[in-house]
Amino acid sequence: MTTPSRRHTTGALLALAIGSFGIGMTEFVVMGLLPEIARELLPTVWQASQEDAIAQAGWLISFYALGVVIGAPTIAGSVAKYPRHRVMIALAFALTVFNLLTLVLPTFELVAASRLLAGLPHGAYFGIGALIAAEVMGPGNRAKGVAFVLTGLTVANVVGVPIGTFLGQHFGWRWAHLLVVLIFAVATIAIFATVPQRAGEPSRTLRAELSVFRIGQVWFTLGIAAVGFGGFFAVYSYVATLVTEVAGSPQWMVPLTLVVVGLGMTIGNLVGGHLADVNLKRSLLGLLSALILTQLLLALTAGWIVTLVFFAFAVSFAASAVSPTIQTRLMDVAGDNQSIAAALNHSAFNMGNALGAALGGAVIAAGFGYAAPVWAGMFLAVGGLVVAIIGFGVERRGVAARAAAQENITV
Helices (H), 105-160: 108-119, 122-137, 142-155
Least Cα distance to 163 among 259, 79, 68, 67 occurs for 259
pLDDT of residue 397: 84
Residue 388 carries which side chain, given as an amino acid letter? A
* Gap between the Cα atoms of 354 and 351, Å rounded: 5
| H or E element, residue 364 | helix 338-365
Asked if 245 and 370 count as a contact pair (C-beta separation under 8 A), the reply is yes
Would you give the DSSP letter of residue 404? H
Alpha helix stretches (DSSP H) within 302-337: 305-333
What confidence score (pLDDT) does residue 162 get?
81
Q: How confident is the model at residue 149 (pLDDT cuts 50, 70, 90)?
A: confident
Most confident of 147-151, 281-285, 407-411: 281-285
Instruction: Please state, in angstroms and rounded to a whole number, the distance separating the CA atoms of residues 137 and 16.
Output: 13
Identify the DSSP state of 58.
T
The amino acid at residue 161 is V
The span from the CA of 370 to the CA of 346, in Å, is 27
| pLDDT of 314 | 94
| E strand residue ranges, 144-216 | none
pLDDT at 380 over 80: yes
Q: Which residue has the higher pLDDT, 145 or 94?
A: 94
Chain centroid offset of residue 225 CA = 10
Residue 204 has pLDDT above 60, yes or no: yes
What DSSP string runs through 242-259?
IIIIIS---TTHHHHHHH
Q: Which helix (H) or strand (E) holds 179?
A: helix 173-194
Within 13 A of 105's CA, how many CA atoms are on the CB side? 17
For 6-196+209-410, the fitting CATH number among 3.90.650.10, 2.60.40.10, 1.10.490.10, 1.20.1250.20 is 1.20.1250.20
d(CA 359, CA 80): 34
Tell me phi and psi for residue 97, to 5 degrees: -65, -45
Give the separation between CA 4 and CA 185, rounded to whole angstroms: 25
Q: Is 215 helix (H, G, I), strand (E, B) or coil?
A: coil
Is residue 145 a contact partner of residue 133, using CB atoms and an 8 Å limit? Answer: yes
pLDDT tens-digit readout, 296-311:
999 999 899 999 999 9
User: Which tens digit of pLDDT belongs to each residue from 285-340?
Assistant: 999 999 999 999 999 998 999 999 999 999 999 998 988 788 778 777 877 676 67
Please tell me the predicted confidence (pLDDT) of residue 141: 60
User: Cβ distance 245 to 364 under 8 Å?
Assistant: no
Compute and round to an integer the Cα radius of gyration of the chain. 21
User: Residue type for 51, please?
Assistant: E
Q: Report the sign of the C-alpha dihedral through residues 294, 297, 301, 304, in that order.
A: negative
Nearest residue to 324 via CA among 199, 167, 142: 142
Q: Kindly report, residue by residue over 61-94, the tens digit of the pLDDT.
A: 878 888 888 887 888 777 777 887 888 899 999 9
DSSP summary character for residue 334: S
Q: Which residue has the higher pLDDT, 280 or 350?
A: 280
